[in-house]
Structure formats: structure tokens, C-alpha cells
């Protein structure tokens, strides 16, 4: 197997440990009665980022290390998912429809980094009162897991 040839034995051990870890993967958060957010577990590890052939902002190719696992949305953020969380916090200043094209099944495409950070903070607060469960429908307690941005 070509992949195995390029992985060190220690990497294989880490991957196996993560697969057998207690953290559920995937993870689901019920944002409201009709909107379910699916998250997948991103394991610790290293990867190369950048491109020799892309734009100047992609240079140089460099190693990036993820030091702890975190959850990330499995699919691009839909307007229905964004709106479900924003609508549950009427005092927040986020636009409930941050897109040029309106539609529940369309992606959110007019947000900046600060909007995303605020949305993740709302998700973290909402997770304490939402239904969070694993693939088998079992309730999950995430008091020790951050749903914020991994760079925080």
C-alpha cells in the first residue's frame, strides 16, 4: 500500500489511537427543530500547506502542525445552519442571511473572519443547551471540547 510506505510507524500508531478514541466522529448538533449540523473530528498531526505553483500568498510550502483534535463542519456552511444559530440569539449583531443569493440550501458566502469567530462563539454557548449526539443517536457531553476556531 503506497500510503503506508510514506507513513512512519509512529504516525500509524497515532492514527489508530485516534480512531479508537473516546471522541465521537461524526458529531451532530441540533441547532433548531429542523436544522442539524454535522461535524467531523480533525485529528492531531502534520501536513504540508502552500504551493510552489499558486499565487504569491500560497508561498512557501511549509509544514503545519495540529496539536490537538478539533471538530469542523463536514460540509460548507448552509444559510439554514447559519440562520438557525443566529436567530436563537436576537441580541447578536450577525446578519442572519449573509449571502448575495438567498436560499436555505445555498452556502453562506458573505462573511468575514470576525463574523465566523462570533458564530463559533455562539455555537459554543448554544452547545450547552442543544442536543448533541453521535452517529448512534447517543447523547454526547462536550463540556471539555472547544467548538471554537482551532487557532484560539
The CATH number for 66's domain is: 3.90.1580.10
Find residue 32's DSSP bridge partners.
35
pLDDT in tens, 73-106: 999 999 999 999 999 888 999 999 999 999 999 9
pLDDT in tens, 19-28: 556 788 889 9
Q: How far is CA 21 from CA 7, 15, 16, 17, in A?
A: 20, 10, 9, 6
Does any domain span residue 128? yes
Task: State the residue for C-alpha cell 502542525.
Answer: 65
Does any domain span residue 141? no
Does any domain span residue 149? no
Alpha-carbon distance of 132 to 88, in angstroms, equals 16
Does any domain span residue 12? no
Looking at per-residue pLDDT, the higher value among 76 and 18 belongs to 76
Alpha-carbon distance of 109 to 123, in angstroms, equals 19
The domain of 33 spans 24-134
Does any domain span residue 95? yes
Give the number of domains in the chain. Answer: 1
Does any domain span residue 10? no
Does any domain span residue 145? no
Does any domain span residue 49? yes
Q: What is the pLDDT of residue 54?
A: 85
Amino acid at each position: 500500500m503506497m500510503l503506508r510506505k510514506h507513513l512512519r510507524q509512529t504516525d500509524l500508531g497515532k492514527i489508530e489511537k485516534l480512531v479508537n478514541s473516546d471522541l465521537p466522529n461524526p458529531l451532530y448538533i441540533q441547532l433548531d427543530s429542523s436544522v442539524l449540523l454535522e461535524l467531523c473530528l480533525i485529528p492531531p498531526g502534520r501536513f504540508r500547506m502552500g504551493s510552489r505553483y499558486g499565487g504569491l500568498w500560497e508561498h512557501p510550502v511549509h509544514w503545519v502542525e495540529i496539536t490537538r483534535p478539533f471538530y469542523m463542519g463536514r460540509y460548507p456552511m448552509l444559510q439554514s445552519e447559519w440562520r438557525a444559530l443566529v436567530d436563537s440569539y436576537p441580541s447578536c449583531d450577525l446578519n442572519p442571511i449573509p449571502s448575495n443569493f438567498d436560499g436555505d440550501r445555498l452556502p453562506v458566502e458573505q462573511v468575514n473572519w470576525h463574523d465566523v469567530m462570533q458564530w463559533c462563539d455562539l455555537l459554543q454557548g448554544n452547545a450547552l443547551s442543544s442536543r448533541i449526539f453521535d452517529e448512534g443517536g447517543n447523547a454526547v457531553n462536550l463540556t471539555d471540547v472547544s467548538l471554537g476556531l482551532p487557532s484560539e
